[in-house]
Structure 1
Amino acid sequence: MKINVVTTIMRVVLGILFLAHGMSKVQMGFGNVAGFFESLGIPGFMAYVVGTIEVVGGIMLIIGLLTRYISIVFIIILLGAIFTAKLSAGLMGNGQMAGYELDIAYIVIALYLAVANTRSWSVDGLLFKKSSTNR
């Protein structure tokens, strides 16, 4: 029971954080974010893809819908951010740009959610009911 509470908190908090990141991209304007992506050598259209995934995926985590799959997608996005934008700044950043320490923490949380039983207090639990012997 206690692990279910902690897992739910982790899922909801990670969802809120990704939703906030996605909404930040929306508020900045995807065109501006696309320009930043292009300055890193990433195709500009990826700003729209990443921003949409962050908003929609954040909501999906908050309600607990397809948690495993969206967690894996978030891991891919985070690894992309580390290797394209943050690796050169170092783990803790360089005074001009944030490092990737927070991305690693998000990856660990998303990895846990990708492999853990996240069906308690979630839409997944309502839609995909299985007996505990099948888990």
Structure 2
Amino acid sequence: MKNKVTVLMRVVLGILFLAHGISKLQMGLGNVAGWFGSIGLPEFLAYVVAAIELIGGVLLILGLFTRYVSVVLIIVLVGAVFTAKLSAGLLGNGQAAGYELDIAYIVIALYLAVAGTTDWSLDRMIFNKG
């Protein structure tokens, strides 16, 4: 059962990150870059984050490089909390989202980084490891 839940967590987290990356594309990366700049971040990071979300999401869905992708996503999430969401508080302030969902994503990604993956993954099929 643990194996099936781990697969579910990995695939769902991958879908969610893929959706976030697609959302950035739909908004227009130039607009996202402008928003990054407005909160004091280098605008090029919008492109980096979008790529990480898109590629990382697909890799998680496939179960390829799960541990490494999970660590990179944790870094992105911690960055989002400290640069964009911390001031809004845990649950948000009515004008901006809080960081409660980011914490949930971080914990799931941390589990995947530590536990590895399952039999139903490209990691296991290609490298025979979890």
Common fold by TM > 0.5: yes
C-alpha separation between the residues in 1 aligned to 2:83 and 2:74? Answer: 14
Residue type of the alignment partner of 1:57: G
User: Which 5+ residue runs of structure 1 have no aligned equivalent?
Assistant: none
Shift, 1:126, TM fit? 0.5
Counterparts of 1:104-115 in structure 2 under 5 Å? 104-115=103-114
Q: Give the aligned partner of residue 15 of structure 1.
A: 14
Q: Give the aligned partner of residue 46 of structure 1.
A: 45
TM-score when normalising by structure 2: 0.98
Contact persistence 2:74–2:106 (CA under 8 A)? yes
The secondary structure found in structure 2 opposite 1:94 is coil
Q: Give the aligned partner of residue 101 of structure 2.
A: 102
Question: Identity percentage over the alignment?
Answer: 70
Q: Give the aligned partner of residue 66 of structure 2.
A: 67
Q: Give the aligned partner of residue 92 of structure 1.
A: 91
Residue type of the alignment partner of 1:69: Y
C-alpha separation between the residues in 2 aligned to 1:74 and 1:9? Answer: 17
Shift, 1:60, TM fit? 0.2
Shift, 1:120, TM fit? 1.7
- List, as ranges, runs of 4+ consecutive aligned residues in structure 1 with deviation greater than 2 Å: none
User: Which 5+ residue runs of structure 2 have no aligned equivalent?
Assistant: none
- Residues matched between the structures, number: 130
Rg larger for: 1
Q: Give the aligned partner of residue 116 of structure 1.
A: 115
